[in-house]
A = this chain, B = another copy of it.
């Protein structure tokens, strides 16, 4: 991430060092960004079963092959950086938009906007690769406190298990996100039509949370 440039420090010998330091950081961030883009492009074009070739990633990014390990020590690390990068790029604006939106509409928005992040396939790839550190719900705590507010607002009955609810909603969203295209093809429709139809089912499920469990 590039360091913020503060104009007040731009004089004297210390500021020169700071400037050089800032530029070095930006260069590093640029190179990392190019390596991430190159890796995602290679996965898109060649798939993953043949393996992600770090030399090809470096070539695609115009980076010296020997230097790639200076930036990313392993394929997993590179993929984790790609996920974080994709996630950070959009998640803040999406969160801001959803603040204060009531439960049903908020979680419907989350479901429908998941296509903007597209991190689920990459997270699944890390899971299949055996990575034990994959975080399937980066914002779990924040989502949970929003759900607690939904209970106070009367949109979720207080007897429901909020953690399990969040897990179920995230599992649905990620499963749908991973298989979205093959699912639409399977029932002979397009993804936008399927998005809306599944969202209608999800609305029924979300609205059902206002009442206590029937049995």
Contacts and interface: CB of A to CB of B under 8 A. Distances in A.
Interface string A53-82: 000000000000000000000011001000
A104 B131 CA distance: 34
Given A125-B125, A128-B124, A179-B124, A167 B140 contact: no
Given A167-B198, A175-B171, A175-B178, A186 B140 contact: yes
Contacts of A161: 197, 200-201
B165 A174 contact: no
A8 to B, nearest CB: 42
Nearest to A185: B132
Interface in A141-186: 160-161, 163-165, 167-168, 170-179, 181-183, 185-186
B187 A140 contact: yes
Contacts of A52: 49-51
Interface string A117-129: 0001111110111
One complex includes copies of this chain to the number of 2
A50 B125 CA distance: 12
Interface residues of A, number: 66
Of A49, A128, A132, A203, the most chain B CB neighbours within 10 A belong to: A49
Contacts of A160: 201, 204
